[in-house]
Structure 1
C-alpha cells in the first residue's frame, strides 16, 4: 500500500500493533495465571494500552503539525519574494510527494519569471537599439530638409540632398521591414509554403538581381553547383536569406573581389556556401554576428542596422537548418548553411 511508503506512518502502525500485541499477550498471561482476578488486571492493561496508543498518536500528529508549519512557512517566504525557499521532502510518502510537487511548481514559476525578465530586458534593449538606429537617419533627414529649404533656388543642391534623403528613407524602410520579418518569424505567424525547389533556379534569380550592382562596384558574382540539387524550402524566404548574405558580402568587399555562391548535396544534407574575398570578420566578433543589432567596434560600416544576419539565421532555422560563419581578417568570409533532406518513409 502507498500509505506505508511514509516511514513515519509505517513506524506508527508498527508501534500500535506492538501495543495491541502486548495487551493481548498480557491478557492471555493473566487469564492463565490468575483466572479469578484477571478481569481487573485486564481492564488496567487495556487502559495502559489506550494511553500508550494515544501518546503515540499525539506525538505523530504533533510531528505532522510541525512539518506542515514548516512547509507553510516556506511557502509564505516564497510568496514574500524569497524564490530560493524550498520544502524539505527527503522521505517517501504521499505528503513528501506533495511537497516535491510544490517545489517543482516553485522551480517552474522561477523559470517563467526568469524568462519574462529576459523577455522584458530584450524588449527594452530592442526598443533602445531601434531608437538608436532610427535617430541617425531621422537626424540626417532633418538636416537635409533644412538645407533644401534654404537652397530651394539651386537645382543641383536640391537634387543632391533629395537623393541623400531618399537613401535615409530607404534605410528606415529596410530597418522596419526586417524588424517586421523577424517578429513574424519569432511569433510563428509565418506560414512557410515549402516545396521542392531546384537550387540552380533560385541562384539564377539571385544572379539576375545582384549582377548589375556587382558589375557597377567592380566585383564578380560566381555561382557554382549541381543542376539537379533540390531543396525542400519556401523559395521566397530562402531567397531572402541568401540575398542578405550576398548584400552583406557586397558591402564588405573591395573592387576586384569576388563573391562565390556554391551548393552541393550529400547523403542527407543540402549545403549552400556564400564565400567572399573581402575584409573578413574579427575573431572577437565572430561569435556575435548573428545577434540582433550587433555592431562591431572593428567594423567601418556605419550604415547597416545589424539585422540582416539575424534575419538570415531565423529563416534558416525556420527551415530546420543551421548556419555558421568562418572568417579570417583580410582573407574573406564563408557562410555555410546546411539543410537536412526530408526522409520519405
Structure 2
C-alpha cells in the first residue's frame, strides 16, 4: 500500500501535523501530550486501515479486469451500495457484458465466414472441374471439330456462370457490410417492373409463358431503382424457371398510406412447405432447383429489399404456384 505515492504523502502530512501538535502540547502539560499522541495514533491507524481496505478492493478489481482481458467474462462484481467504488464496479460489469456479447457476435461471424467460404468454394469447384475436363478434351488432336466447338461453347457458358457468381457474391458482401449507399429516390413501380422484366423476356418467350401486370401508374415508393431492379430480376427469374411452358406469371402492385406492395404470382411447381423457411438462406437449393442454380438469387433479393425498409414474404403450394409479396414501408417524418 505504501508503494503508492499519494498514500506516502498523506501519511507524511498526518505525521507532520501530529508532531507539530505534540510540540505545542509540551508547553501545556504532560496530559495534553499523551492525549495528542493517542489521538494522532488512532487517527493515523484508522486512516491507514480503511485506506488499505479500499486498495484491497481496487486490487480485486484490477485482477478482475486482467481476467476479462484474458477472455473470462463469468464474474459478476455488481454492487448495489452507495459510493464511487460501487459505481465503478457496476460500470465494469456493464463493460464486461458488452464485451461478452461482442465476443459472442465475433465468434458467430467467424463461423458464418467459415461456412460462407466453404459454400463459395463448393460453388466454384463444380464449374472449374467441368472446364478442366473439357479443356483436356479440347487438347486432343483426334477430337472431331463438332465436339471441339461444343466443348468450347460449354467452357464459355461455365465462364459466364463463374463471372455472374463472383459478381453476385461481391454485391452480397457489400450489402452485408453496409457498404452500399442505397439511394432514396421516388421510384415509380410501373417503370421498375418494366426494367426488371427486360432481362427475362427471352426465356418467357421461349417457354411461351403469359405475363399480366396490374396496377396504377402513380404507385411509387422511396428507394433505389437499380438495386431494387436487381432484386426483382432474381425473383422473376425464379418464377420463370419454376413455371411450366405455357404457364402464367401475374404481377400486381398497389399503394396505401402505410406501404407500397408488389405481388409476383405464378402457377408453377410451387415450393414444399418444409422448404419455405429456408428459401432466402444463402446457397440454399430446394429439391426442385435447376441444375445451374447457385442458391443466392433469392438471398440477394431479400438483402436488397430489407436494407430499404422493406419486407418480402412467400406463400406457396406444391403444384399450385408461388406468390412473393414485397412491401416497402413509408417513412414517418
TM-score by length of 2: 0.81
SS in 2 for 1:315: helix
The equivalent of 1:6 in structure 2 is: none
Alignment of 1:271-310 (within 5 A): 271-296=261-286, 298-310=287-299
Confirm or deny that 1:327 pairs with 2:319: no
> Residues 8-63 of structure 1: CA distance to partner in whole angstroms, max 9, x if unpaired?
xxxxxxxxxxxxxxxxxxxxxxxxxxxxxxx8877766666555555544543343
Match of 2:185 among 179, 190, 195: 195
**Conserved? CA contact 2:309–2:328, under 8 Å:** yes
> Would the alpha carbon gap of residues 258 and 154 (structure 1) be closer, same or farther in structure 2, given more than 3 Å must change?
same
Deviates more, 1:50-59 or 1:119-128: 50-59
Total equivalences in the alignment: 306
**C-alpha displacement at 1:152, in angstroms?**
6.1
Match of 1:340 among 316, 324, 329: 329
**C-alpha displacement at 1:110, in angstroms?**
2.3
Tell me the distance in 2 between the aligned counterparts of 1:204 and 1:152.
49
The equivalent of 2:8 in structure 1 is: none
Confirm or deny that 1:171 pairs with 2:161: yes
SS in 2 for 1:227: coil
**C-alpha displacement at 1:107, in angstroms?**
2.2
> Would the alpha carbon gap of residues 79 and 180 (structure 1) be closer, same or farther in structure 2, given more than 3 Å must change?
closer
SS in 2 for 1:284: helix
Structure 1 gap segments, 5+ residues each: 1-38
SS in 1 for 2:260: strand
Confirm or deny that 1:119 pairs with 2:109: yes
Match of 2:60 among 60, 70, 73: 70
> Would the alpha carbon gap of residues 265 and 64 (structure 1) be closer, same or farther in structure 2, given more than 3 Å must change?
same
**Conserved? CA contact 1:192–1:234, under 8 Å:** yes
**How large is the RMSD of aligned CA atoms in angstroms?**
2.6
SS in 1 for 2:273: coil
> Residues 87-121 of structure 1: CA distance to partner in whole angstroms, max 9, x if unpaired?
34232211111122222222222223222222222
**Conserved? CA contact 1:77–1:85, under 8 Å:** no
> Would the alpha carbon gap of residues 251 and 152 (structure 1) be closer, same or farther in structure 2, given more than 3 Å must change?
farther
Structure 2 gap segments, 5+ residues each: 1-28
**C-alpha displacement at 1:318, in angstroms?**
2.6
> Residues 143-184 of structure 1: CA distance to partner in whole angstroms, max 9, x if unpaired?
222222337652322232233222212221111110111122
TM-score by length of 1: 0.79
Confirm or deny that 1:224 pairs with 2:214: yes
SS in 2 for 1:150: coil
Confirm or deny that 1:105 pairs with 2:112: no
